[in-house]
Amino acid sequence: MDLVLQAGPVVKLVLLVLVYFSLVSWAIIFYKVRVIQLAIKESDRFLDFFWSKKRFDIIGQGVRDFTNSPLAILFREGYHELLQFKKRAAAGSEEGEMLADLGGLGNVSRALRRATTQETHRLEKYLTFLATTGSTAPFIGLFGTVWGIMDAFHGIGQTGSASLAVVAPGISEALVATAIGLAAAIPAVMGYNHFLNKVNVLIGEMDNFSQEFLNIVDRMERGK
Amino acid sequence: MKLSKKQNWQRLHSRFEPGFMRMLLLSVAIHVLLPAFYTGLLYFSPPKEKPPVYRVNLVNKPVKNPQAGRPEASQKKQETVKKTQPKASPKPVVKPKPKPAPKPKPKPVVKPKPKPVAKPKPKPAPKPTVSKADEQSLAQKIDAMRRQKEREDRIAKLKEDLARERDKVVSPVVDAPVGEITGKGDEEGIAFASYVKAYITEQWRYSPYLGNNLNLEAVWVLVYSAEGQLVHKKVIAKSGNRAFDDSLLRAILKSQDLGRELGEKTEFEVTFNLREMQN
């Protein structure tokens, strides 16, 4: 603690920036742990629920219980688009208009793609901050260290003494910046890699679910 | 349009996803607690008033003419008292012991052998031929035996004296306090040379990372003035390790003032051994 308090103003500023990076990084890590765990857990539950029911209207009513599952959101968007299309199709047939079935499938597909993109953004939100912290914090720390060592050498030049007792405290103070930079960067990089892997798994699940949903809609349309 | 504090907070809150602010607070708490744990603030307890400690170094009092002494002097005192009491009574017991030891040896050798051999043989012959010459020879033999006994007694006494002298070399003064083992002087304490060496060793700093070789030894000649100031220094034998030699030079320069008066200008030849100094 004394080392931090005795450091120069530039080193103190660097330390403040690093502490900010560390604070937000850890907040993101905790937040993401919770969000991604909930997403994975509820997606598994939703898939079980989805395959156990054979009617979309029943699934549509039960979707409200899976607010954190990206797959449930995908279903909700796709189903909503399907209902819209069916309403318009019913209105069109009444008015004597012809609507192509494939056009409806295309709408649902686009709705699913849009929902997938939105969910991917939601899941990946704040991860860029972790990546930034992981890549820049060590350099910021290094900058603080270099500045501190420059300061220490300047002091040596002024006092004219190069003994270890004069050099060591300055270098020790300066090295604190690198230590804190690494302390901020290491968990950030680890968290980023971990969450990116989990998000990729969820994106894969969302793609698979979209394909399954479109297949089911296609079969329903052809079965008419 | 000025926004109220509540509106500002709500605006800030809406920028983050629900639950993120809580995690931020958790992170802040961890960042405050971790350094607190590290620096030991959580284990803080009001400082207790330490009782004053007075240190008086009676053992290492440097003197010119140190007497011998042993750390266990007080223990030996009791032992010597116990030993001396029984010694007084066993002394007469000890004396007769060596006496009967040499006596029975010659007796069974001389008496039984000559008696059965000499008596029967000379009895028949010497009875008629007992002369003054035989009496003289017998007297001479008895004298020779007495001299031999006296010699043996003297040797035993000399051996005892020698043992006593040896004891005196280890500890010439029975009740001597802690001092130099080899000292033979009359003052309690250690020699100035030992004090100087200990003082320099106190000032000596040597990093253990400078080498694993503990068998380093250097010999220095140091001349101190009567006031205890370093007047001259000279290295007689270097250790061969520059770092060790430099550390010794630094320590010697640090201890230029002994903080004690020596009484007269004194020259010391001090041997610095790394292994000894690190213990």
Average pLDDT over residues B102-118: 48
Whether residue B204 sits in one domain with residue B160: no
> Taking phi first (over 0 means left), then psi (-120 to 50 degrees means alpha), and beta for anything else, what does residue B40 get?
left
pLDDT-above-70 percentage for chain A: 88
Choice between A153 and A160, residue whose per-residue pLDDT is larger: A153
**Is the pLDDT score of B125 beyond 60?**
no
Q: Any chain B CB within 8 A of the CB of A133?
A: no
Specify the pairing of strand B217-224 against strand B266-273. Answer: antiparallel
pLDDT of residue A16: 93
Q: What is the pLDDT of residues A174-195, one digit of tens each?
A: 888 999 999 999 999 999 999 9
Residue B33, in any domain of the structure? no
The confidence band for A70, taking pLDDT boundaries of 50, 70 and 90, is very high
Alpha carbons within 13 A on the beta-carbon side of B23: 19
Let me know if residue B214 belongs to a domain: yes
A224 falls within a domain: no
CA neighbours closer than 13 Å in the CB half-sphere of residue A30: 18
Domain holding B259: CATH number? 3.30.1150.10
Last residue of a domain, one of B137, B170, B203: B170
Flag whether B2 is in a domain: no
> Which pLDDT value is given to residue B95?
45
Looking at the fold, whether B91 and B158 belong to one and the same domain comes out as yes
Q: Which residue of chain B comes nearest to A20, CA vs CA?
A: B28
Enter the DSSP assignment of B72.
T
Domain count, chain A: 1
Categorize the per-residue pLDDT at B134 as very low, low, confident or very high, splitting at 50, 70 and 90: confident
Q: What is the pLDDT of residue B68?
A: 64
Q: Which two tokens stand for residue B124?
A: 């028949």
Structure confidence at residue B35 as a pLDDT band (50, 70, 90): confident
Token representation of residue A176: 């604190």
Among A167-181, A203-217, B104-118, the range scoring the smallest mean pLDDT is: B104-118
| End-of-domain residue from the set B136, B170, B204 | B170
CA distances from B29 to B41, B167, B173 (A): 15, 73, 70
In a domain, A19, yes or no: yes
Dihedral of CA B186/B190/B194/B195: which sign?
A: negative
- The per-residue pLDDT for B129 is 61
* Interface residue ranges in chain B relative to chain A, Cβ cutoff 8 Å: 17, 19-20, 23-24, 26-28, 30-31, 35, 39
Q: Is residue B207 located within the same domain as residue B153? A: no
Rounded mean pLDDT, A94-100: 51
Residue A18: the pLDDT is 95
User: In whole numbers, what is the pLDDT of chain B averaged over residues?
Assistant: 72
Contacts of A25 (CB under 8 A, 6+ apart): A129, A130, A133, A184, A187, A188, A191, B27
A126 contacts in chain B (CB < 8 Å): 20
More confident residue, B43 or A83: A83
- Tokens standing for A121? 């953004």
Q: How many of the other CB atoms lie within 10 Å of CB of B113?
A: 10
In-domain check, residue B50 = no
pLDDT on residue B98: 47
User: For B156-213, what is each residue's pLDDT tens digit?
Assistant: 999 998 888 776 555 444 554 455 556 666 666 677 888 888 888 888 887 766 666 7
CA angle B199, B202, B207 (to 5 degrees): 145
B32 is a domain residue? no
Which chain A residues touch B30 with a CB distance below 8 Å? Answer: 26
What is the tally of structural domains in chain B? Answer: 2
- Work out the percent of chain B whose per-residue pLDDT is above 90: 14
Instruction: Return the axis-axis angle of helices A9-52 and A164-222, rounded to nearest 10°.
Output: 20
Mean local confidence (pLDDT), A83-95: 74
Q: A176 — contact with chain B (CB < 8 Å)?
A: no
Angle between helices B20-39 and A9-52 (to 10 degrees): 130
> What was the pLDDT predicted at B58?
57
Q: Which structural domain range is residue B124 located in? A: 76-170
Compute the average pLDDT of residues A142-158: 84
Nearest residue in chain B measured CA to CA from A26: B27
Q: Residue B246: inside a domain, yes or no?
A: yes
Q: At what angle do helices A9-52 and A101-124 cross, to 10 degrees?
A: 140
Render pLDDT for A21-50 as a digit per residue (tens, 0 to 9): 999 999 999 999 999 999 999 999 999 999
Domain containing residue A119: 2-219
Chain A to chain B Cβ contacts (< 8 Å):
36
> Which chain A positions have a beta carbon within 8 Å of B39's beta carbon?
1
Q: How confident is the model at residue A219 (pLDDT cuts 50, 70, 90)?
A: confident
One domain, residues B165 and B196 = no
Mean pLDDT (whole number) for B143-159 = 93
Hey, which bits of B152-203 come out as E strands? 190-191
Number of C-alpha atoms within 13 angstroms, CB side, residue B171? 16
Q: Give a yes or no: residue B24 inside a domain.
A: no
Chain B hits for A121, CB-CB cut-off 8 Å, are: none
| Within a domain: A170 | yes
Q: Answer yes or no: do B198 and B164 share one domain.
A: no
Banded pLDDT at A196 (limits 50, 70, 90):
very high
pLDDT given for residue B173 in this prediction: 46
How far apart are alpha carbons A45 and B96 in whole angstroms? 108
The pLDDT value recorded for residue B117 is: 47
By Cβ distance, the residue of B27, B28, B39 closest to A1 is: B39
- Report whether pLDDT(B70) > 60: no
Q: Half-sphere exposure of residue A209, counting CA atoms within 13 Å on the CB side?
A: 28
Is B65 a domain residue? Answer: no
Of A194-203, B166-175, B241-250, the range with the highest mean pLDDT is A194-203
